Amino acid sequence: MRDDVQEASAFAEFTELLRDALLHLYDPAHLQEHRLLALIPDDGLGMVSRARLLRQRLLDAIESLRPAGGVSSRSHAWRTHHLLELRYLEANEITEVMEQLGIGKSQYHRDHHHALQCLASVLWHDWQRTRWETDEGISDRAVNASSRVVAERVDPAEILRGVVMLLEPLCRARVVDICVTPDEHLPAIGGDRVALRQVLLALLVATVNATDHGTIHVRARARPGEVEIQVATPLENAPSAFEARIAECRPFFATLGGSISHGSGPENPRGWSVWLHIPSLSRPTVLVVDNNPDFIQLVDRYLAGHGWDVVGAPDVAQASTLARRLQPRVVVLDIVLPEHDGWELLLELKEIPGVKDIPVVVCSVLENADVATSLGAAAYLHKPISQAQLIALLSQFRVGSVGAAQDCQEPRRSCAAAPRARSLPAF
């Protein structure tokens, strides 16, 4: 959620920068100092030349919103394009634009806001890519992302929905629909969520801009060892900008360890498709909620080599965030936690759609198996626990959950120190 809010804030800031540049479209001195000049590679060009290229880039973006032939001149798409022409290309005052379009002040502001969002959607990918390269460098970012492949689990369905939402204004302007159909149980992929967003955004922007009056179908399927994302369009051939977009996003796609192909296929014989193949994470995750780092380390040590990823959370707030984000196979929950106890988290998890069916194993020094059962826990472990006890219990959750809570106490024994567990950042 935090990432989506930051993305929306960044898009709003970019839209405001775009509006300012459009208001100074014929002011070279202003454009030479403008932040959007970063869209134009230096390549040894002077500031004056880059400012001219920036203006042309903005003009081309407006032109890309021109509806294709056959679209009614009274359509919303035509009004969007006409408003941009009147206000910025012809530099008319707002009152003049309202008069020529035959609309009132309130309608003008609604249409103007929509038109700017459409235009911003056209340029957003390039702006994000520029910031990516400038702020951190593609090669450095790629190395960092690849080192986080095990640590960061990315939900491809969530990323797809976010990208499509971002492109809604552009789709309305082009009279194009994007229909997203993910498998019900789509596995997570490993890598950098921002990299996947950039890849999908680049491909979909190029595809939407080349499509008029049609539906783009985006299907995400679980394949053996991978997630396949297909973008199927009514176009007979790849859009001219597609190869350039692929070249731009290859460094990002490389961090995901995936491959890409395009052409026609039996599912879309009259159109053109692109397929993304990204390795999935097949290892199930155990979310261990305990404010004692030694216990999280112990669980990680016990499960090392047994096909589980261990993620630790020291408090209820972080655990709640990670449960939503990671969709772990099972949650191991202590009761005594700072600020809010484990019972509160258990009740919360059982109310969250998409999370409520995740088995929760209460693990505590307290004797509260009956309470755990009544609140929906799948099992109860008494601390200290043994490796055999933990592995035997978790094996039941690889293919499904147990119906009622089980009391899995064994004789108490001491536990040796363990190496530090792998842990994900809170999102």
Percent of the chain with pLDDT over 90: 20
Is the pLDDT reported for residue 78 higher than 50?
yes
Of the two residues 292 and 43, the one the predictor is more confident about is: 292
Is the pLDDT reported for residue 149 higher than 50?
no
Q: Confirm if 161 and 183 have CB atoms less than 8 A apart.
A: no
43 phi and psi angles, rounded to 5 deg: 50, 30
Q: Confirm if 280 and 258 have CB atoms less than 8 A apart.
A: no
Task: Please tell me the chain's helix, strand, coil percentages from 3-state DSSP, rounded to the nearest 5.
Answer: 50, 15, 35
**20-34, 157-171, 191-205, 328-342 — which is least confidently predicted?**
191-205
pLDDT of residue 191: 72
Single-letter amino acid code for the residue at 398: R
pLDDT of residue 290: 92
Is the pLDDT reported for residue 63 higher than 80?
yes
Average pLDDT on 369-392 reads 89
pLDDT of residue 180: 92
Q: Confirm if 113 and 80 have CB atoms less than 8 A apart.
A: no
Is the pLDDT reported for residue 315 higher than 80?
yes
**Please, what is the average pLDDT of the chain?**
79
Other C-beta atoms closer than 10 Å to the C-beta of 7 total 18
Average pLDDT on 341-361 reads 89
pLDDT of residue 282: 63
Which of these, 174, 209, 155, 213, lies nearest to 3 by C-alpha position? 155
Average pLDDT on 211-234 reads 87
Average pLDDT on 238-256 reads 72
Beta bridge partners of 212: none
d(CA 4, CA 265): 34
Average pLDDT on 85-94 reads 91
Q: Which domains can be identified in the chain, with CATH numbers? A: 2-134 (no CATH), 142-279 (3.30.565.10), 285-395 (3.40.50.2300)
Is the pLDDT reported for residue 115 higher than 50?
yes
DSSP string, 252-269: HHHHTT-EEEEEEETTEE
Which of these, 180, 122, 121, lies nearest to 156 by C-alpha position? 180
Q: Measured between alpha carbons, how far apart are the two ends of the chain, in Å?
A: 8
Q: Provide the pLDDT confidence category of residue 152 given band limits of 50, 70 and 90.
A: low
Is the pLDDT reported for residue 371 higher than 50?
yes
Percent of the chain with pLDDT over 70: 83
Q: Confirm if 148 and 192 have CB atoms less than 8 A apart.
A: yes
**106-110, 263-267, 321-325 — which is least confidently predicted?**
263-267
Average pLDDT on 340-364 reads 89
pLDDT of residue 125: 77
Q: Confirm if 332 and 372 have CB atoms less than 8 A apart.
A: no
Q: Please return the burial class of 247, using the count of CB atoms within 10 Å of its CB with bins 0-12, 13-18 and 19+.
A: exposed
Average pLDDT on 179-206 reads 83
Q: Provide the pLDDT confidence category of residue 132 given band limits of 50, 70 and 90.
A: low
Average pLDDT on 96-114 reads 91
Average pLDDT on 287-303 reads 89
Q: Provide the pLDDT confidence category of residue 61 given band limits of 50, 70 and 90.
A: confident
Is the pLDDT reported for residue 391 higher than 70?
yes
